[in-house]
């Protein structure tokens, strides 16, 4: 199953690959070179297909839990000052996505969307300390009565050139459901209440909609 954000790219890529196959088969007469080019084209197609995959996930719905919004590796766990929305200290958990991870973004909690804003910006590498404040990004805040307010921020990286965000203010959303996509990148930051119990460790791999990041 592929994410809807990749449908157009997949179709265009497939058409181009088929055309190149025909050209190579007609004009490249050296057998080993012909085979090498075709294998390279197939590998490129497989790379595009795996990037836009959208596997089904089994979310254990629980308003006391914050699930991971994306697949990837935990690279930051620290107390910080969140300056865009809360303007107070929060627990930040950051998850880095490599090019081979699923890049679907999912809602970490169920509830009401309080805030959703897009910020144009730079394309620093995702692990850069200033990426969260200077890169292209979207900020979304979801609130429920049990856990409170959770902010998550999609951040573009050096390769990401488009962030897709479906969250709109006043929407009622379900935990683990599709909230967006980051094309060819890169990182998501979570900002949690200070009394949240963090259930992950640095360098731990997590799965979107399934891994429990924190609880109350």
What is the sign, positive or negative, of the torsion defined by CA atoms of 89, 196, 71, 162?
negative
Query: Catalytic annotation on 132?
Result: no
Q: Considering 68, 94, 186, 211, which one is annotated as catalytic?
A: 186
- Report the catalytic residues: 186
């Amino acid at each position: 199953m592929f994410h809807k954000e990749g449908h157009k790219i997949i179709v265009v890529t497939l058409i181009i690959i088929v055309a190149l196959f025909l050209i190579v088969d007609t004009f490249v007469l050296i057998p080993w070179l012909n085979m090498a080019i075709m294998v390279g084209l197939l590998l490129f197609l497989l790379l595009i297909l795996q990037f836009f995959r959208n596997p089904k996930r089994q979310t254990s719905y629980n308003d006391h839990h914050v699930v991971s919004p994306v697949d990837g590796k935990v690279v930051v766990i620290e107390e910080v000052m969140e300056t865009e929305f809360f303007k107070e200290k929060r627990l930040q958990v950051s998850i880095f996505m490599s090019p081979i991870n699923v890049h679907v973004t999912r809602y970490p909690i169920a509830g009401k969307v309080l805030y959703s804003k897009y910020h144009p910006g730079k394309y620093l590498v995702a692990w850069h300390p200033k990426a969260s404040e200077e890169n292209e990004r979207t900020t979304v805040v979801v609130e429920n009565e049990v856990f409170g307010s959770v902010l998550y921020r999609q951040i573009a990286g050096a390769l990401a050139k488009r962030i897709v965000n479906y969250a709109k203010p006043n929407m009622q959303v379900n935990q683990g459901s599709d909230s967006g996509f980051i094309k060819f990148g890169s990182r998501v930051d979570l900002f949690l209440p200070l009394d949240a119990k963090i259930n992950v460790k640095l360098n731990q791999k997590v799965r979107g909609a399934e891994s429990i990041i924190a609880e109350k």
